[in-house]
Amino acid sequence: LLRALIEEHATPVMLSALTRRFPSMPNPLAGRRVTAVVVGDRLNREVVIESLVHQSHRPAEVLLGGDGEWSAAERSALEAANIRVRALERDGDEVPWSRVGSVADTEWLTVWPIDRPVGSCYLLDLLVGAGLSRADLAAYGAQPLDHVDRVDLGSAIVRRSVASAHLGSQPIVRAD
């Protein structure tokens, strides 16, 4: 029920419907746009693509890093789902948060899980958590609605400005 309220009936959704009539007005839903960062070697690209395109709230863009170039067919599968696709350069084995923050075009960043399956509401649940808490970072934890002192950024959503300012040169993920 909460997912449906946030996704379909929240104030930004209603305002967005109104602002479509006035193109000069900013889109209230722009704050829900997410960049998924896919970094890692030896990943199963088919599984990653499948999990991205089947999200109930799809990422607006995907930054691809990792083991070599992605094929035109792999990129097309994401683009066909209206997900912008761009390459992400690494510094050796690492991708610093500052690089992702400077390349991404969205309000939110998330490192896409490549080591485990994710459900179709994975990204929506992270957005709901961030929206309801008004936090700059929200993550899945061991217990629902639990406050933790340390966050696994591999299962989190973080505001781009916060990632750039506070995480800077720290690596997003150490590639396999």
Whether 36 and 110 have beta carbons less than 8 Å apart is answered as: yes
For residue 18, pLDDT over 70 is answered with no
- Summarised one tens digit per residue, pLDDT across range 19-57 is 667 777 666 656 778 999 998 877 888 999 999 999 989
In tens, the pLDDT along 73-106 reads 999 999 999 999 998 876 666 788 888 889 999 9
Return d(Cα 18, Cα 27) in angstroms, integer.
10
41-55, 62-76, 144-158 — most confident range: 41-55
**Using an 8 Å Cβ cutoff, are 90 and 65 in contact?**
yes
Q: Token pair of 33, please?
A: 């746009």
Are residues 159 and 25 in contact, defined by beta-carbon separation less than 8 angstroms? no
User: Tokens for 26?
Assistant: 């900013």
pLDDT at 174: 41
Q: What is the value of pTM for the model shown?
A: 0.81
Q: Sign of dihedral through CA atoms 88, 169, 58, 11?
A: negative
What's the one-letter identity of residue 5?
Answer: L
